Amino acid sequence: SAPLKKLNDGTQIPQLGLGVFQMDDDEAHRATLAAFEAGYRHVDTAAIYRNEVGVGRAIAESGLARDEIFVTTKLWNKAQGRDNAREGITRSLEKLGLDHVDLYLIHWPCPAAGTYVETWEQMIDFRSEGLTRSIGVSNFLPEHLDTILDETGITPSVNQIELHPTFQPDDLLNHCSDLGVVIESWSPLGQASDLEHPEILRIAEATGATPAQVIIRWHLGRGFVTIPKSTNPERIRANFEALNVTLNSEQMEAIDGISAGNRIGPDPATVEP
Ligand code: A2P
């Protein structure tokens, strides 16, 4: 099973999970079941993915106890604010068929909307009420983290950000590390674009692991929580086997060195509801 990482509120998160971005309900249902069979105990969805129903069906059918699995979902941008956020989590829980999630995230800061602080205050309430065990953010830049910390005194447990070998935002990583915020990497494989990088291929060759396993192992070695996405049961299984791969320090450092500012998603400063 995946190693557990302790969050700043004492909750433990499995360091490797399944991401279900860009899957419909049926694909997410199949992928989540395949992941549970392969040994995953952590699944990461979001209201905007529109597949919480599929994920929830897989959870119900898995036969796994609720406290054996770790479920993350995210509040969509349009649902930010004092009045809307509660409806956001209520709908997500209904769709998932759960009475609580393990981690609830603000999906994007949307700084121009000016609502992320009041949304964070709501998140703090949701945790107190037991609707979620942990709370965090996604796509927050250092200034957004500092603002919610200054305004509320409560540090997010995680910041889930775009992070893969050719996109390593070092200032943000260092800032999160200073604050004790665990990093979760989304698109850990660079949406497959990093799989053919010559250094990744070289290390795959040397270790006998696949390029995806090499990259996943690198995330784990760096201490990140990571959520590679696949719809394919074989690749879902193979990605989990990254837990059995070993990289030496030369190989880890070689991957540290291929960062190239190769952002795939939007710049968080510019995303608006
Ligand atoms: P597929 O769903 O067909 O497996 P990321 O997690 O960085 O967003 O990357 C997801 C993309 O990487 C998907 O297109 C997925 O395709 C592909 N992918 C996931 N695992 C592997 C793997 N082990 N080998 C090759 N491609 C993979």
pLDDT tens digits for 120-171? 999 999 999 999 999 999 999 999 999 999 999 999 999 999 999 999 999 9
| Average pLDDT estimate for 54-61 | 98
The pLDDT of residue 202 is 98
Residue in 163, 213, 235 to alter for ligand 1 test, most ligand atoms within 8 A of Cβ: 235
Which strand (E) or helix (H) includes residue 53?
Answer: helix 52-62
Pairwise CA distance, residues 273 & 222, whole Å: 32
Q: What share of the chain is helix, strand, coil (3-state, %, to 5)?
A: 45, 15, 35
Residue 49: active-site member? yes
Ligand 1: centre distance to CA 239 (Å): 9
Closest-lying ligand 1 atom to the alpha carbon of residue 229: 6
231 lines ligand 1 (CB under 6 A): yes
- CATH of residue 103's domain is 3.20.20.100
What residues contact residue 248 under an 8 Å CB cut-off, 6+ apart? none
Spatial contact of 105 and 77, defined as CB atoms under 8 Å apart: no
Q: Is residue 273 part of a domain?
A: no
Q: Is residue 166 part of a domain?
A: yes
Closest-lying ligand 1 atom to the alpha carbon of residue 230: 2
State the complex-level ipTM: 0.98
What residues contact residue 129 under an 8 Å CB cut-off, 6+ apart? none
Q: Is residue 22 part of a domain?
A: yes
188 lines ligand 1 (CB under 6 A): yes
Q: What is the mean pLDDT of the chain?
A: 98
Q: Is residue 247 part of a domain?
A: no
Spatial contact of 188 and 163, defined as CB atoms under 8 Å apart: yes
Q: Is residue 125 part of a domain?
A: yes
Burial class (CB in 10 A: 0-12, 13-18, 19+), 221: middle
Q: Is the pLDDT of residue 65 over 90?
A: yes
Strand-strand pairing, 4-6 and 12-14 = antiparallel
Closest-lying ligand 1 atom to the alpha carbon of residue 21: 8
Q: Is residue 135 part of a domain?
A: yes
Closest CA to 163 of 146, 139, 195: 139
Pairwise CA distance, residues 73 & 95, whole Å: 11
Which residue ranges are tagged as binding site?
107
Spatial contact of 238 and 213, defined as CB atoms under 8 Å apart: yes
Pairwise CA distance, residues 127 & 111, whole Å: 23
Spatial contact of 56 and 28, defined as CB atoms under 8 Å apart: no
Sheet containing 182-186, strands listed edge to edge, beginning at the edge strand earlier in sequence = 18-19, 42-44, 70-75, 101-106, 132-138, 158-162, 182-186, 225-226
Q: Is residue 99 part of a domain?
A: yes
The pLDDT of residue 105 is 99
Percent of the chain having pLDDT more than 70? 100
22 lines ligand 1 (CB under 6 A): no
Please tell me whether the overall predicted TM-score, pTM, comes out greater than 0.95 for this model.
Answer: yes
pLDDT tens digits for 70-127? 999 999 999 999 989 999 999 999 999 999 999 999 999 999 999 999 999 999 999 9
17 lines ligand 1 (CB under 6 A): no
Q: Is residue 242 part of a domain?
A: no
**Number of domains observed in the structure of the chain:** 1
Q: Is the pLDDT of residue 195 over 90?
A: yes
Dihedral (CA of 230, 231, 235, 237) sign: positive
Q: What is the DSSP letter of 189?
A: T
Spatial contact of 238 and 209, defined as CB atoms under 8 Å apart: no
DSSP notation for 86-138: HHHHHHHHHHHT-S-EEEEEES---GGGT-HHHHHHHHHHHHHTTSEEEEEEE
Q: Is the pLDDT of residue 66 over 90?
A: yes
Which domain does 8 fall in, by range? 4-191+224-229
At 199, the amino acid letter reads: E
